């Protein structure tokens, strides 16, 4: 894998942080809703965001 330049590294860190934020927000929203179907979907989406974050971290 080629070395990342400074701009690519900054963009990658921004994407990783964004996925972490999304996961946290989705978890929060899942705790707030009363419909269990929607809560389950939000939790699944949060888990997907965490997986994507972990995948992006492999490029660091």
Residue 35 lies in a domain: yes
Residue-level pLDDT at 1 = 55
C-alpha to C-alpha distance for 17 and 8, rounded to whole angstroms = 14
Identify whether 44 is part of a domain: yes
Domain annotation covers residue 49? yes
> How many independent structural domains does the chain possess?
1
d(CA 46, CA 23): 4
14: its two tokens: 């921004």
Give domain status of residue 12, yes or no: yes
Asked if residue 31 belongs to a domain, the reply is yes
* pLDDT (tens digit per residue) in 2-60: 688 999 999 999 999 999 999 999 999 999 999 999 999 999 999 999 999 999 999 98
Residue 39 inside a domain? The answer is yes
Number of C-alpha atoms within 13 angstroms, CB side, residue 39? 8
Whole-model pTM? 0.88
In a domain, 1, yes or no: no
Residue 34 DSSP code: S
* Domain limits for position 22: 6-58
């Amino acid at each position: 894998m080629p070395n990342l330049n400074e701009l690519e590294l900054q963009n990658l860190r921004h994407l990783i942080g964004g996925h972490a934020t999304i996961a946290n927000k989705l978890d929060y929203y899942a705790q707030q809703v009363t419909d269990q179907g929607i809560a389950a979907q939000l939790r699944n989406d949060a888990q997907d965001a965490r997986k994507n974050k972990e995948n992006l971290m492999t490029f660091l």
